[in-house]
Structure 1
């Protein structure tokens, strides 16, 4: 890697990073966009299915739906920013600029409805909206702007001094060098790699959150880890079954063939995600399985991409799709304001790695792409104009000696077991206390190697261990059971994860 300078450095090529890079480029900045992804499906946006919510005739109801889904914990001012900018930003950026064609029904857009939404307001493209947005957006930024795109390139450390960020150390193909920037925007996505079952790509190791936290930036709401209630787990992998399927009439049935959601919530299958996820977990434990019954809808016609994916994984959707919860989204992250500014000068964060306050304790369906798009635009515009300055970058040691065989894989397996068993859908105070003990030891082991050598896999493991500990600590400190943070009283026996 060569040392470089750029007005704005964006790390991550999901919808938030692309939106930020586009906005900064349109404002006349020299923009560098770095991503460790080498193909679109390595970014979380590609995996999004349901769609992107917009404001229709009743913005006040949209705001209320977001607040209600969060159990009243979302920041009303942040929600105001999201809703007031939703329709115009989607129209200006995705439709007019990138040329996205959302599904129509002959009379206009075919708005879908998802859980906890009062009305249909979801723009979508089949049931794989993320893929159909991400690829053309990425192509547009790469081909139609002056943005320099660095694929296969990871950020390892922020270059910082006395509360200000000056860029980042970037790594590609085992070589690293500083990139100095007037502003640095983190758009590194989620934390799915911290859990054994996730709807995120394997590359979602929480890098941006870890780098920012280690640099001294504030993080908040880290305990609010959202689990999607309907993921299909097969021997060949896990895939998300969009909430839109339940919005069209799909019903959840337990192992006895009984529909159970009306007993848990008045909105039944369209209850908030945290409620449905816990219900699915309970019914699986009590009856052996839960399936999504799609017999009352024209599944193959309404959701052709999902029907094809079921076939690829050997799932017969006509007899019911077997589902279970999977980690889906982190509602917290790096604390930012309404322009994506963090508590460190010249450092911004957008998308899932940020905490805007929109989601509070639980995210409303199909607001993640919207949040990334809106805050990406606002951060990209605001980040332009800061002077590039050089300081002495942090020293990274040469990659010598190599890591012990299977070191990173074994540590990741241990970390995921702890997070799954102790910091999952349901938590106990004693389990959270034990999780911190295990995670502190694991982080200490990782830190010992980071001090002696440099490799991407090691830094990803460090990121995962830092973020896992942040989540566990935040969960232990929050004694209120709300939203995604659900506490139970039962004491558990010693977990294999501690052994």
Structure 2
């Protein structure tokens, strides 16, 4: 990497430090490129990967079965070619990077074999895991490995503010390293910025998941797709400070019960508690509304809860949950759409790639199958990094100076605007929507974006740009929702449901 007092240059620039970003950086460096990885996170748990619980799917020597499960969970909307790409490269990516290079200590049986688990909508046990904190056990060694790589520089606490473009090609980014923006020029730029959880009050994402990559790409003119498909996980702790209760719990025998103590998922889907996420989430929401509460009953687990899932059990005990019934409610979890990319992670703008949750590869369609997010980030990160390494040399172009002339805003300004944004998303673009609610959301979000833009024009501050990105991403979600009148997967438009339809029709 070349550094001057005015700008930096690098062969490949990666924005984001989750599994997808780390994989892209590693692959590009392995091809001989100099790589700069920038991330606004300062700790591993600032990346969504660190929050991933369940595990990472493999084919377990049955690729056709995994393909079928992914397509079925998506309600037939996933791109078969993208699914084939994922499945074809899954086992090699896991073996080469996670098992051999990083030596991730995946759980094993007493016989020394991998202890594969099963999660909802999977037809067999095929998921590698470490307790129910797999993301943490993957990301932290990955970050250490990347940080020690001679061809990779990792720069933390650095936010991307804008994509730099010239003649239809992305040339790099402006960062917040200087008060009016510092350019980093690159031969190829890989966005790996995660999801949009910060747009909702309750989310399993880190607080800084503000849709940055999606917003920056869209503002630069890149295509974005499938943004109406916001997935809500059915089993997050229902109290304050929600945390995820992995689907591996239900895969190992835990069951959902309503306030009357009744199991209810048999009434909603033939696979009962192991039905696809969108169906389980809506069922949990309906039962909570009808009976007042839904709990995840962990008493049917074969082993003791504390022994089988010590990390989750500790979180429960920290919140005063001493028994086997854990109150749960749906919670924003994953964005199935994003920057539209091909099988190498290439976006519609030359020089731009997107991987991980900010990308729309086509694998997930309208609803993601459990434990495919880490896999998709790994596979597409490796493929994008390898391809980006063969891209053009970095070219220095004129970069705009962002204005930073007006006084700082009050400390609570961005927080108060975020509160309004989240209230809008929760009320109008949540687990279920109506056409009228989508239209109301669009109107509120347009006004909010206008207010935020007025301040961004004269102030360069990370929280303002995160707020701008969040409003742009929210508007894109509302627009996509308004353009899709069909209820499918995560996009459930109530008024389009025929009377008498059931979840398994």
TM-score by length of 1: 0.96
Match of 2:125 in 1: 120
Indicate conservation of the 8 Å contact 1:174/1:456, yes or no.
Answer: no
Give 3-state SS (helix, strand or coil) of 1:240's partner.
coil
SS at match of 2:349: coil
2:180 and 2:401 in contact (8 A); partners too: no
Judge which range, 379-388 or 242-251, deviates more: 379-388
**Which stretches in structure 1 are left out of the alignment for 5+ residues?**
492-499
Q: Distance in 1 between matches of 2:244 and 2:179?
A: 33
1:301: how far off? 1.1
| Cα drift, residue 399 of structure 1 | 5.2
- 1:176-225 Cα deviation digits (max 9, x unpaired): 30000000000000000000000000000000000000000000000000
Matches within 5 A, 1:256-271: 256-271=260-275
Q: How far has the Cα of 1:299 moved from its partner? A: 1.1
Task: State the partner residue of 1:131.
Answer: 136
The answer for the alignment partner of 1:305 in structure 2 is: 311
Alpha-carbon shift at residue 401 of structure 1 (Å): 1.7
- Residues 6-45 of structure 1 mapped to structure 2, 5 A cutoff: 6-45=10-49
- For 1:54 and 1:35, the matched residues in 2 are separated by 28
Listed one character per residue, the Cα deviations across residues 355-399 of structure 1 (whole Å, up to 9, x for unaligned) are 000000000000000000000000000001311111111221125
1:244-283 pair list within 5 angstroms: 244-283=248-287
Question: Secondary structure at the residue paired with 1:234?
Answer: coil
Partner Cα separation in structure 2 for residue 175 and residue 331 of structure 1: 34
Calculate the aligned-residue CA RMSD, in Å: 1.3
> Which residue is equivalent to 1:357?
362
Shift of 1:174: 5.0
Offset, 1:405: 4.3
1:438 partnered with 2:454: no
Could you say which residue in structure 1 is the equivalent of 2:422? 416
User: For 1:89, which of 93, 112, 120 is the aligned residue?
Assistant: 93
Map 1:90-109 → 2, pairs under 5 A: 90-107=94-111, 108-109=113-114
Aligned length, in residue pairs: 489
Query: Any conservation in 2 of the 1:22–1:145 contact (CA below 8 Å)?
Result: no
TM-aligned CA distance change 1:281 to 1:145, over 3 Å? farther
Q: Which residue of 2 aligns with 1:338?
A: 343
**1:58 is matched with which residue?**
62
CA deviations over 1:211-246 (Å, ceiling 9, x no partner): 0000000000000000000000333x1110000000
1:198 aligns with 2:225: no
For residues 144 and 159 of structure 1, the distance between their equivalents in structure 2, rounded to whole angstroms, comes to 27
Residue 319 of structure 1 and its aligned partner are, at CA, apart by 3.5
Confirm or deny that 1:448 pairs with 2:462. no
1:179 is the counterpart of 2:184: yes
Cα displacement (A) at 1:57 = 2.3
Aligned partners of 1:399 and 1:455 also within 8 Å: no
Residue in structure 1 matched with residue 299 of structure 2 by the alignment: 295
Distance 2:447 2:224 in 1: 22
Structure 1 range deviating more: 166-175 or 479-488: 166-175
Q: How far apart, CA to CA, are the structure 2 residues paired with 1:223 and 1:83?
A: 25
379-388 or 275-284, which moves further after superposition? 379-388
Counterpart of 2:387?
A: 382
> 2:180 touches 2:404 (CA, 8 Å); kept in 1?
no
Structure 2: tracts of 5 or more residues without a match: 498-505
Partner of residue 4 from structure 1, selected from 8, 25, 29 = 8
Alpha-carbon distance, 1:161 to partner: 2.0
Other structure's SS at 1:166 match: strand
In the aligned structure 2, how far is the partner of 1:293 from the partner of 1:173? 52
Residues of 2 paired with 1:388 and 1:440: CA distance? 36
Q: Which residue of the partner structure matches residue 462 of structure 1? A: 468
Q: Within the alignment, does 1:473 sit opposite 2:474 as a pair?
A: no
1:473 aligns to what SS in structure 2? helix
The answer to whether the 8 Å contact 1:331/1:360 transfers is yes
In the alignment, structure 1 residue 231 sits paired with structure 2 residue 236: yes
Q: Which shifted more, 44-53 or 319-328?
A: 319-328
Match of 2:328 in 1: 323
Alignment-derived partner of residue 500 in structure 2: none
Q: Report deviation, 1:173.
A: 7.6
Q: 1:485 aligns with which of 488, 491, 500?
A: 491
